[in-house]
Amino acid sequence: MMGVEDAIRETVARYLDAFSSGERETWLDQFAADATVEDPIGSEKRVGRDAIGGLWDETRGLAERITLELTQGPAVRGHEAAFAFEARTELGDATVVIPIIDVMTFDDDGRIRSQRAFWSDQDLHTE
């Protein structure tokens, strides 16, 4: 039987992979029904699947291709995890890169209960 920390690691991997491959429903399935998302920190919290799906729609509507590449972690302890990654958005001939740190809490099934994304426009750079 898999422990909750292993389930959390798998959820984080599916969260990153599903977003990168454009699998909206798979990505949303990683969240608990009453999950909250604050992305970025300081923005209005989105509560529940419909609101979180709206974030997907807004974000994925910015560009045809956005990939999330894990750069550190996840560090998992109990029902919490933190990890660093880069969001790489292809815009024409340029790639916009945003370094992000996500801090999440999880339910007993390893689904995301809360997500807080730490990033700033000041950290954006192009390649």
- Label residue 73 left, alpha or beta by phi (over 0 means left) and psi (-120 to 50 means alpha): left
Collapsed DSSP state (helix, strand, coil) of residue 107: coil
CB 119 within 8 A of CB 112: no
**List 17, 39, 50, 109, catalytic entry:** 39
Collapsed DSSP state (helix, strand, coil) of residue 26: helix
**List 6, 15, 34, 50, catalytic entry:** 15
- Measure the CA–CA gap between 54 and 60, rounded to whole angstroms: 10
50 counts as catalytic = no
DSSP 29: T
102 counts as catalytic = no
Cβ-Cβ contacts under 8 Å for 55 (sequence gap 6 or more): 37, 39, 46
Active-site residue list: 15, 39
